Amino acid sequence: MVKKRLAIYPTMNAYPHARLLTLKERAALERAVPRTFVQLVTHISSKVSVGWSWYDESQGVVEWTFENSDTVPHAVILLRNTYYFGGAFWPVYYANSDGRGASATDPQDNFGTDWAMGLTPLKDSGVASNSPPLCLADFGSGNRSVCFLFSLAPGENWSMVEGGFSASMTPSGISLYEVSLAKSGQFCIGYDQTRVTDWDTQTGTTLEGYSPNPSTFALAEVQVESGAPYDVLPFNDSYADGPCAP
C-alpha cells in the first residue's frame, strides 16, 4: 500500500518553508525571556515528547525541545507544517556543513549537519549550536525521503532552533514518528535542483547543493513506524541501494 500524502504544493515559493540556520545566523539571535512553551501535538511517540517556544520572535526563530522519558533510547523524526524537518533543503544543509561549501571559507557559514551512521544519541552543545544529523527514511512501499534524525538517550532532553516562521505561520500539525535502524551502508542519492533554487529564492542567497548529483554516501537508513504519512514535498529525488554507477 502506498503511503498517504497530506497535500501537494506546486512550488516552494507558493508555500514558504521553515529552515535550519547557519551558526552565524544563530549567534546573532536574541533569546526571548521569559519563554512560553507550546505543546500542541497531533501524533506523538509513546516515550518521546516535543514542544516549541519562540527563541527570537522578531526573527521568526523557534526553539524545539525533545525529551525521552523512557529508560531506553528512542529515535524519532519530526513532522510539522505538513513536511518533515530537514526534508525541504537538505542538499543545501549537507553541502555547506563541516568544511564543505561555504563553511570551508567561513566556519560560521555552517549548518553543522552530516549523515547519521546509526542511532547514536544526540550530543548537546547548547540550543544555539545544536544540529541533528540527516538520515534516509523508509516509509514502506518503496517510499523514501531524507530528513533529520533525532536519537535520544534514556532521559535525554535536547533543544535546537529553527527559522522561517512568523506570527501568521507558527509550527502546526506537529507529529513525532518513531524510527528503527533498517541498515547502514552505501546509497546513491540524487536531489531535485529545484530544492536549491527555492532555497536561494526564499533566503536571497546563492548557496549550492552538493556535487556531483547524484553521489554515493555512507549513511543510516531508518524504518518509520506504520501509519506515518509520506513526505509531501513535490520534488523528484532518487534513492538506490549501493554506490552510484561509475
Residue 186 — φ and ψ, nearest 5°? -90, 140
Looking at the DSSP bridge assignments, the partners of residue 131 are: none
Report the pLDDT value the prediction gives residue 41, as an integer from 0 to 100.
Answer: 57
Total domains in the fold of the chain: 1
Does 244 map to a domain?
A: no
Does 242 map to a domain?
A: no
Does 57 map to a domain?
A: yes
131-135 average pLDDT score: 98
Number of CB atoms found within 10 A of residue 242's CB: 10
Q: What is the pLDDT of residues 57-86, one digit of tens each?
A: 999 999 999 999 999 999 999 999 989 999
Beta-strand pair 41-43/174-190? parallel
Report the pLDDT value the prediction gives residue 234, as an integer from 0 to 100.
Answer: 87
pLDDT above 70 covers a percentage of the chain that reads 88
Question: Which range, of 23-27, 29-33, 117-121, 140-144, averages the lowest pLDDT?
Answer: 29-33
For residue 44, what pLDDT band results from cuts at 50, 70 and 90? low
Q: What's the rounded Cα separation, in Å, for the pair 204 and 198?
A: 10
Q: What's the rounded Cα separation, in Å, for the pair 119 and 219?
A: 11
> Is pLDDT at 54 greater than 90 in this prediction?
yes
Q: What's the rounded Cα separation, in Å, for the pair 38 and 164?
A: 17
212-235 average pLDDT score: 93
**Residue of 43, 51, 83 lying closest to 67 (CA atoms):** 51
State whether residue 93 is helix, strand or coil. Answer: helix
For residue 1, what pLDDT band results from cuts at 50, 70 and 90? very low
The range of the structural domain enclosing residue 99 comes to 23-229
> Is pLDDT at 14 greater than 80 in this prediction?
no
Does 59 map to a domain?
A: yes
- 71 is written with which cell numbers? 529508560
Contact between residue 184 and residue 91 where contact means Cβ atoms under 8 Å apart: no
Report the pLDDT value the prediction gives residue 38, as an integer from 0 to 100.
Answer: 64
Report the pLDDT value the prediction gives residue 42, as an integer from 0 to 100.
Answer: 57
127-146 in b/e form (b: 16+ CB < 10 A) is bbebbbbbbbbbbeeebbbb
Report the pLDDT value the prediction gives residue 21, as an integer from 0 to 100.
Answer: 93
For residue 128, what pLDDT band results from cuts at 50, 70 and 90? very high
Report the pLDDT value the prediction gives residue 39, as an integer from 0 to 100.
Answer: 58
Report the pLDDT value the prediction gives residue 6, as an integer from 0 to 100.
Answer: 41
Contact between residue 82 and residue 173 where contact means Cβ atoms under 8 Å apart: yes
Does 146 map to a domain?
A: yes
Does 13 map to a domain?
A: no
Does 246 map to a domain?
A: no
26-37 average pLDDT score: 74
